[in-house]
Amino acid sequence: MPTPKAPNPKKGKNKIIFEKLNNIQAEAKFIDIKESKSDILLNIKDKGGVYMFFNLINGNYYIGSSINLARRFRVHLNSVGSVKLPLPLAINNMVLIILYF
């Protein structure tokens, strides 16, 4: 499973946020959701599990679960731009973390 290395800021609030991200134990981490979309779908196809969207700007997170992670991921991506909720509005600043399959 791909788990690219996240940027490592040297100081301040960003350092704390990235330390939190690095300390999360996970099956996989996808740093750039838009660029990794096809890779994400390939790795979660036909799998259920628990996932987390982690905001790289403020450290907030959303945890969800699904019996079909690929379908749920597509629903989240399709809501970007059409729904005025916190997750779709911040998706460009998020990391997708698969906590458990």
User: Given this model, what pLDDT does residue 18 score?
Assistant: 85
Rounded to the nearest 5°, which phi and psi values hold at 63? -115, 135
Contact 96, 40 (CB under 8 A): yes
Can you say whether the dihedral through the CA atoms of 75, 81, 82, 83 is positive or negative? positive
> Using one digit for the tens of pLDDT, what is the confidence trace for 1-56?
555 555 556 667 778 888 888 889 999 999 889 888 999 999 999 999 999 999 99
> Using one digit for the tens of pLDDT, what is the confidence trace for 45-67?
999 999 999 999 898 999 999 99
Q: How confident is the model at residue 91 (pLDDT cuts 50, 70, 90)?
A: confident
Query: Pick the residue with more confidence: 78 or 3?
Result: 78
Q: How confident is the model at residue 90 (pLDDT cuts 50, 70, 90)?
A: confident
